[in-house]
Amino acid sequence: MKQFLLYTLTWISGNLSVPFWMVGHIHLTTNVYEDIHEIIASFGMNIIVGIGFYIDWLKHKKETNDTK
């Protein structure tokens, strides 16, 4: 189950990071955040993508060290 969750996080960060950030950036420039649910959702999506990038970086670092 742990491997599946790690794969899911890295998949989300790799495939959905650009839409999250593009939509989020446009949304931030056109909206005023007055609803706590929007703020939490925005932070949550960015945290998920950040964690996925970090996991993928650790995996890449381990693979490159194994080949040397």
Radius of gyration of the CA atoms of the chain, in A:
15
Q: What is the pTM of this model?
A: 0.65
Amino acid identity of residue 18, one-letter, is V
Name the nearest CA neighbour of 60 among 15, 10, 12: 10
pLDDT in tens, 29-66: 666 666 777 778 778 888 888 888 888 888 888 888 87
Q: Are 68 and 47 in contact (CB under 8 A)?
A: no
